[in-house]
Structure 1
Amino acid sequence: MKRFVCDCGTTQSLFFESSRCLSCQRLSGYCYKENAMLSFDETKESGVFMARGSRYQQCKNYRHHQVCNGMIRLANEVQPNGEALCFACHFNSNVPDLDVPEHLPLWRKLETAKRRLLFTLQSLGLPIRDREQEPEAGLSFSFMADKTAGDHFNSPLADQEPVFTGHANGNITINLAEADDVARHAARVAMGEGYRTLLGHFRHEIGHYYWDVLIARHPVLLGEYRKVFGDERESYQDALDRHYKRSNDDDSWKGEFISRYASMHPWEDWAETWAHYLHMLDTLETAQAYGIVTEVENAAVIDTKEITLPQEERYYGKNSSIEDIVSNWIYFSVVLNALNRSMGLPDAYPFVISDAIRAKLAFVHRTIHSVG
């Protein structure tokens, strides 16, 4: 993630999630067309804000629910539309039932993770087609619950079918329980996972979406994929049954797969590897943007305050090196884990990248940069 700074004359950081500058107290928000966090001045026009000489309005979900911070630029003389959605919110197919008070803060967490995901996808120049552009398989998101939020999702809702986090034909469904820290921790422990985050779910499921977009439709890439990850035509249900019969203590997957879940089926191996690739890029960019050395101790730190899309060639460009990315990540993840331990926290990245996993990451890298 880039580092954003308010233009109020201070060095006050604007985080990607910020809704107000803590120094000048102006409204702030993210503008997708400009790829920038900006602070805004109020105007005499109702619902209109000014920044850098242009008129803006808040996304409907920002203005009414404060679950996003998207700002929409208005053409001259165009009046604000109270129903207008920002780039991120217009992908929503289903949102949580807001008649349940506990759902609102959980929806806010979902939107925060989704916006960060979309930022990375845009940074990589990946195609992002919505349901209007591609009605049968365009990208959309459904955020749904099948249990009650009041008891951390322990009690089933009446007349509600089970909601499974997953991807199907472009639609990514996230069970609202994943946004509840208590429920998500319980699931992580029950499944013997070392890592389970909301952002991780989004990055994993979008991997399935891009498998359909980038690989399934391209025979040459599909053949290469099968050589690296295996044959996805293997019965998914059989693989799923075998996976959940295995003990959480079974570590036979280590070395060949980035996680236990990745060992279940070639589709999941791809999605898990894809998610880790995005973990690496976003974290390395954030570290560099804040002047943290991410390689050898005496490496030069590059100022990235003025990065615009496409992101810095080192991590996001077509000429970026997967060897450079992985080597820097291995070094920095050790530092990251050491920092966490100094705070009494679990390792931020409890994974080992073997040569086999490097090869899979390299395939993900090549596939992404084959676009266009």
Structure 2
Amino acid sequence: MRVFNCDHCGHLVFFDSVQCLNCGSALAFLPDQMTLAALTPAPQDGEALWRRRSHEGSEAHTGRLYRMCRNHTEYQACNFAIPSNDFADLCASCRQTRFLPDLSAYANMRRWKQIEGAKRQLFYTLARLGLEPVPGRPGPLFEFLADMPGGPPILTGHLGGIITLNIAEADDDERARRRIALGEPYRTLIGHLRHESGHFYWDQLVRDGGLLESFRSLFGDERQDYSAALDAHYAKQGELGDWATRHVSAYAASHPWEDWAETWAHYLHMIDLLETAASYQAGVTVPDPRGSVRHQVTDPFAMPRPGFQEMVRQWVPLTLMLNSLSRSLGQHDAYPFALSAGAMRKLRFVHDLVQAQTQSDGRPDTGVNDTGVPTAL
């Protein structure tokens, strides 16, 4: 996740920060401005409102008023703020959560806070890509549920615009147990949410966007029996096969829907990691694996379109550096993947589709690129 600087003193602060450790300013993320801001109290008519704090040395405090999300004031579980003219008591991220576990249980409270933190990270990336909910295009809803004694297990998944997550996934030991049992190299909360959001956006962008034929030519025919495909995948657990030549993960080879969701999640990994590396003030440079030249990592949102080849050129050495840093601390590789040309073609499809959806230059471009995605939808 990218880093920010305190509005008031300029000190480094983080996406989930609630207070600047240097100047003591209260901090909150402002979804309407897509930035983390230092705030100063500006109460009106007995309501606890806030406005952005000015730079150190200035007494002027201007701009719109905000209130803190109710999940912040009641549970210290959110750091998003709400414009004062928005009369909802939950922020843009928290209001997407439909069901919660029993928060009177301490363990559930801890799990919920961790999951909401990952969901805010997902919200940020989707918003940066122009995929945040707008009138006529709702975003996903979320249900965070716990297994009940004697009841059926809660399965993480997506159905009809609702993403369900078993809150046990917030426990490191349980997540590691499931990762090992399923033979997965990577299993995280943000990974789950990115993957399941892929199913949601497949419905919106591919199925409802008239791109089924282009999708099928690259990912395969999603009309094949889904349950049978997953049963077959788990039956051959442990067999390597040749999935790596065409997919980002072994699970992606189970069914075209899962191939899409795994590829979508991987694209969001790329966007977030590149933006994070680029956000450090001194910048991050990475070596070109083919020589001694070093490249500055660029914010993917600042790259000229289409930008995908430049993203890949920076992505490969950046992940090599990331894994080297992890190994230097005695940890497993943070990025345990190697992307084949086949996987790259699918990532390019996702990139082109997102770019087509979020074009803002106003040009009446109705061409088709080399992945079969119209350049303006």
Normalized against structure 2, the TM-score is what?
0.85
Q: CA deviation at 1:249?
A: 4.2
Question: How far apart, in 2, do the equivalents of 1:188 and 1:370 lie?
Answer: 35
| Larger RCO: 1 or 2 (CA < 8 Å, sep 6+) | 1
Question: How far apart, in 1, do the equivalents of 2:93 and 2:297 lie?
Answer: 32
Q: CA deviation at 1:48?
A: 1.9
Q: Which of 90, 109, 113 pairs up with 1:108?
A: 113
Distance 1:129 1:94, change over 3 A: farther
Question: How far apart, in 2, do the equivalents of 1:218 and 1:36 lie?
Answer: 31
Q: Match of 2:200, as an amino acid?
A: Y
Q: Pairwise mapping of residues 188-199 of structure 1 onto structure 2 (< 5 A)?
A: 188-199=179-190
Matched, 1:144 2:130: no
Tell me the SS of whatever aligns to 1:18: coil
Tell me the SS of whatever aligns to 1:194: coil
Question: How far apart, in 2, do the equivalents of 1:301 and 1:228 lie?
Answer: 30
Matched, 1:330 2:316: yes
Question: How far apart, in 1, do the equivalents of 2:185 and 2:322 lie?
Answer: 16
Question: How far apart, in 1, do the equivalents of 2:78 and 2:139 lie?
Answer: 22
**1:170 aligned partner:** 161
Tell me the SS of whatever aligns to 1:37: strand
Question: How far apart, in 1, do the equivalents of 2:139 and 2:91 lie?
Answer: 17
Question: How far apart, in 2, do the equivalents of 1:295 and 1:364 lie?
Answer: 26
Q: Pairwise mapping of residues 120-135 of structure 1 onto structure 2 (< 5 A)?
A: 120-126=125-131, 128=133
Note if contact 2:306-2:352 (Cα within 8 Å) is conserved in structure 1.
no
Q: CA deviation at 1:2?
A: 3.5
**1:14 aligned partner:** 13
Note if contact 2:284-2:297 (Cα within 8 Å) is conserved in structure 1.
yes
Note if contact 1:288-1:294 (Cα within 8 Å) is conserved in structure 2.
no
Question: How far apart, in 2, do the equivalents of 1:218 and 1:74 lie?
Answer: 35
Normalized against structure 1, the TM-score is what?
0.86
Q: What RMSD over aligned residues (CA atoms) do the two structures have, in Å?
A: 2.0
Q: CA deviation at 1:185?
A: 0.6
Question: How far apart, in 2, do the equivalents of 1:46 and 1:362 lie?
Answer: 48
Q: CA deviation at 1:161?
A: 3.3
**1:56 aligned partner:** 66
Q: Pairwise mapping of residues 211-250 of structure 1 onto structure 2 (< 5 A)?
A: 211-219=202-210, 221-250=211-240
Q: Which of 267, 281, 302 pairs up with 1:313?
A: 302
5+ residue gaps, structure 1, are 147-156, 305-310
Task: Write out per-residue CA displacement over residues 89-141 of structure 1, whole angstroms, 9 at most, x where no aligned residue.
Answer: 111111221121111111111111111111111111125258xx57xx75200
Note if contact 1:94-1:142 (Cα within 8 Å) is conserved in structure 2.
yes
Q: Which of 102, 109, 129 pairs up with 1:97?
A: 102
Question: How far apart, in 2, do the equivalents of 1:198 and 1:92 lie?
Answer: 15
Q: CA deviation at 1:256?
A: 1.8
Aligned residues: 341
Task: Write out per-residue CA displacement over residues 347-372 of structure 1, whole angstroms, 9 at most, x where no aligned residue.
Answer: 01111111111111111111111215
Question: How far apart, in 1, do the equivalents of 2:132 and 2:52 lie?
Answer: 29
**2:371 aligned partner:** none
Q: Match of 1:366, as an amino acid?
A: D
Q: Match of 2:190, as an amino acid?
A: L
Question: How far apart, in 1, do the equivalents of 2:286 and 2:160 lie?
Answer: 38
Note if contact 1:313-1:320 (Cα within 8 Å) is conserved in structure 2.
no
Query: Which piece of structure 1 moves more, 162-171 or 41-50?
Result: 41-50
Tell me the SS of whatever aligns to 1:312: helix
Q: CA deviation at 1:182?
A: 0.9
Tell me the SS of whatever aligns to 1:50: strand
**2:93 aligned partner:** 88
Q: Pairwise mapping of residues 254-265 of structure 1 onto structure 2 (< 5 A)?
A: 254-265=244-255
Q: CA deviation at 1:43?
A: 4.0
